[in-house]
C-alpha cells in the first residue's frame, strides 16, 4: 500500500477546490497531496487511515488533514457486495496553505489559522457544535462564487482554529516517507507494515526491505520517524484493534490475535500502554 502522490488542478478562477462526492464506495487509494484537506463525511462508514492511525469512521465526522499526510477512507465490506445499495457521500475542500496569498499567513491576525495548519500535520478530528454545522457551511462555500466563496473558507478556518473539542489522529512523531534522492526505503517499510501488521513481523524481515542489517535498520528508522519500529508497529495494531472492538463482532482474545498480538496478556498490556485503558474499559467507554 504505497502512498501515491495525487496532483490536483484547481480552476484558474478559484483559489481552492471544493467537491461533493457520491460513490458506491470510496476509492481505496493510500495517497497524499500538497493541499490541506477538510472532509465532512455525509454518509458512509468504514476504516479511516491517517498517517499511522487506523480507526473507524462514521457519518457526520469532520476531519482536517495537513499537507503531504498520507490518508485513505476504506469502506466496510458491505459496500463492495454485488447487490449493495449503500453509498459513500462526502464534501471536501482542498486548499494550499498559501491559498489566501503569499505572506498573508504571517500577519498577526492569522496566527490562529497558521497554528491550525501546523496542527493538521497529525490530522484533526473535530467535535463540538462546529461538527454539527460543518455540512451546511461547506455546502454554502461549494455553491458560493467569487469573494463570498473565499470569505466563507476563511471564516470556517477561523472557527476551526478556535474549536476546543478535537483530537489528533496520527502520532506526533509520524513523518510521511517522502522519497529523497531516489531512497524510498521508509515508504517500503510503511507499505509492508500496513499490509502485514496482523501477523508476526521479525526485525530481520523488515530490515531486509531497507537492505540493512537489524542494528542499522533500527538507527535508520528512528532517525527518519522519531520512534522505534516496534512502537510504530504496535500503534498500527492498536488502532486496528480499536476498530474491531467498536464493531463488537469478536471477543477480546480474538481481536488481539487478529490485530497481530501473539497472546492476550501482551495485547492487554500494549493496549493499556497506548490508550490508557484496557480493551474492556475502552469498549465500555464507547458503548452508548
Q: What is the pLDDT along the chain (288 residues), one digit of tens a residue?
A: 456 767 777 676 789 999 999 999 998 787 889 999 999 999 999 888 888 787 888 899 999 999 988 888 988 888 999 899 999 999 999 999 988 877 787 888 889 999 999 999 999 999 878 888 999 999 999 999 999 999 999 999 999 999 988 888 887 656 555 544 445 788 788 878 878 888 999 999 999 999 999 999 999 998 887 788 998 898 888 878 887 887 778 899 999 999 999 899 999 999 998 888 899 988 887 665
CATH number at residue 86: 2.60.120.280
Neighbours of 260 (CB within 10 A): 21
Task: Work out whether strand 46-50 and strand 4-5 pair parallel, antiparallel, or are unpaired.
Answer: unpaired
Q: Residue 180 domain-assigned? A: no
Residues 205, 159 share a domain = no
Residues 269, 134 share a domain = no
CA angle, residues 59, 65, 70, in degrees to nearest 5: 105
Q: Are 207 and 21 in contact (CB under 8 A)?
A: no
Residues 112, 51 share a domain = yes
Count of domains forming the chain = 2
Tell me the per-residue pLDDT of 200-217, one tens digit each, with 9 for 90 and over.
999 999 999 999 999 999
Residues 150, 27 share a domain = yes
Residues 243, 276 share a domain = yes
Range of the domain at 259: 185-285
CATH number at residue 197: 1.10.10.60
CA angle, residues 284, 250, 254, in degrees to nearest 5: 105
Residues 137, 69 share a domain = yes
Q: Residue 177 domain-assigned? A: no
Residues 195, 161 share a domain = no
Residues 141, 233 share a domain = no
Residues 66, 149 share a domain = yes
Residues 161, 191 share a domain = no
| Alpha carbon distance 181, 191 (integer Å) | 19
Tell me the per-residue pLDDT of 51-97, one tens digit each, with 9 for 90 and over.
878 788 889 999 999 998 888 898 888 899 989 999 999 999 999 99
pTM across the whole model: 0.69
Residue whose cell numbers read 461538527: 131
Q: What is the DSSP string of 135-196?
A: HHHHHHHHH--HHHHHHHHHHHHHHHHH---EEE-S-TT------BTTB-HHHHHHHHHHHH
Amino acid at each position: 500500500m504505497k502512498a501515491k502522490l495525487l496532483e490536483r488542478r484547481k480552476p484558474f478562477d478559484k483559489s481552492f477546490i471544493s467537491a461533493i462526492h457520491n460513490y458506491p464506495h470510496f476509492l481505496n487509494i493510500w495517497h497524499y497531496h500538497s493541499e490541506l484537506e477538510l472532509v465532512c463525511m455525509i454518509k458512509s462508514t468504514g476504516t479511516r487511515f491517517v498517517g499511522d492511525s487506523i480507526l473507524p469512521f462514521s457519518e457526520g465526522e469532520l476531519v482536517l488533514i495537513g499537507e503531504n499526510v498520507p490518508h485513505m477512507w476504506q469502506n466496510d465490506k458491505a459496500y463492495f457486495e454485488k447487490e449493495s445499495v449503500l453509498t459513500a457521500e462526502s464534501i471536501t475542500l482542498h486548499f494550499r496553505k498559501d491559498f489566501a496569498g503569499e505572506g498573508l499567513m504571517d500577519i498577526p491576525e492569522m496566527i490562529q489559522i497558521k497554528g491550525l495548519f501546523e496542527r493538521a500535520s497529525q490530522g484533526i478530528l473535530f467535535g463540538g457544535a462546529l461538527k454539527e454545522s460543518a455540512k451546511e457551511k461547506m455546502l454554502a462555500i461549494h455553491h458560493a462564487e467569487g469573494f463570498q466563496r473565499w470569505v466563507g473558507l476563511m471564516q470556517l478556518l477561523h472557527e476551526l482554529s478556535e474549536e476546543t473539542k478535537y483530537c489528533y489522529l496520527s502520532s506526533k512523531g509520524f513523518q510521511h516517507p517522502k522519497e529523497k534522492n531516489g531512497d524510498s526505503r521508509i515508504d517500503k517499510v510503511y507499505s509492508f507494515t500496513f499490509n502485514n501488521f496482523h501477523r508476526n513481523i521479525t526485525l530481520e524481515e523488515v530490515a531486509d526491505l531497507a537492505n540493512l542489517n537489524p542494528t542499522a535498520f533500527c538507527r535508520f528508522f528512528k532517525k527518519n520517524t522519531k520512534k522505534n519500529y516496534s512502537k510504530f508497529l504496535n500503534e498500527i495494531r492498536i488502532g486496528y484493534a480499536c476498530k474491531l472492538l467498536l464493531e463488537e463482532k469478536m471477543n477480546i482474545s480474538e481481536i488481539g490475535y487478529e490485530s497481530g498480538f501473539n497472546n492476550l496478556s501482551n495485547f492487554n498490556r500494549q493496549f493499556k500502554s497506548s490508550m490508557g485503558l484496557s480493551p474492556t474499559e475502552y469498549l465500555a467507554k464507547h458503548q452508548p
